[in-house]
């Protein structure tokens, strides 16, 4: 049997309060289950999306490193390093958020995602198209990695929210609602007992009064 709510008074007022709590608990339980189910659907949708993004990021990084090796093979490793040091600051990534079923997830945006040859900052006179291609491929890889970071952060946050929501659903199902139901039954039982006790008391009082009246008129 579920535990009763501590220090409960078996009164009709308390019974009305508990009935209201039962209704609210049932409504909250239904809404949380709906939220949990919707979150799980969103989670698996994004998880499937993440698989494609991860493959694309891995492919982009592979292409970028191949382009880098080709550039090094024509200009030499030291020269390519020198070109890399001349490149302007790394792209900045701005973060905003969006809501998925009330969960705030990040949206990552790269400033100046694709730069022109002049914007990259290295000298064009002592480099070749292979360096340009490597720079382009790494910019594409960066965009793919940022997209992957965004979607994987969303997966992590949704997973955490699903766990929290499941715990709340389980707490309502296994603790809160059974305790409320048990306490309502207990109060009803006590009220019935008190009503029977009062009935028998009144009956005894009435019988006693009738006996006294009979004796008085005898």
Domain 12-213, second-level architecture: Orthogonal Bundle (1.10)
Predicted pLDDT of residue 29: 95
pLDDT in tens, 11-54: 899 999 999 999 999 999 999 999 999 999 999 999 999 999 99
Give pLDDT < 50 ranges for the chain: none
CB of 131 within 8 A of CB of 87? no
- Residues with Cβ < 8 Å from 103, sequence gap 6 or more? 39, 157, 158, 161
For the whole model, what pTM was predicted?
0.75
Predicted pLDDT of residue 150: 94
Neighbouring-strand partners of residue 104: 99
Predicted pLDDT of residue 184: 92
Predicted pLDDT of residue 3: 78
Q: What is the CA radius of gyration of the chain?
A: 37
Per-domain boundaries in the chain: 12-213
């Amino acid at each position: 049997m579920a535990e009763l709510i501590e220090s409960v008074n078996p009164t009709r007022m308390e019974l009305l309060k508990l009935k209201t709590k039962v209704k609210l608990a049932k409504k909250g339980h239904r809404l949380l289950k709906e939220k949990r189910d919707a979150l799980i659907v969103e989670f698996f949708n994004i998880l499937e999306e993440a698989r494609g993004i991860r493959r694309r990021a891995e492919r982009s990084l592979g292409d970028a490193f191949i382009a880098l090796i080709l550039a090094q093979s024509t200009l030499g490793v030291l020269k390519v390093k020198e070109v890399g040091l001349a490149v302007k600051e790394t792209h900045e990534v701005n973060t905003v958020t969006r809501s998925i079923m009330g969960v705030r997830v990040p949206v990552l945006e790269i400033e100046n995602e694709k730069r022109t040859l002049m914007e990259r900052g290295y000298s064009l006179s002592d480099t070749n198209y292979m360096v340009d291609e490597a720079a382009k491929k790494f910019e594409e890889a960066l965009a793919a990695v940022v997209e992957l970071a965004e979607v994987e952060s969303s997966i992590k946050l949704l997973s955490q929210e699903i766990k929290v929501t499941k715990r709340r659903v389980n707490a309502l199902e296994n603790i809160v609602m059974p305790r409320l139901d048990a306490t309502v039954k207990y109060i009803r039982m006590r009220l019935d007992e008190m009503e029977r006790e009062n009935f028998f008391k009144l009956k005894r009082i009435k019988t006693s009064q009738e006996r006294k009246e009979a004796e008085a008129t005898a």
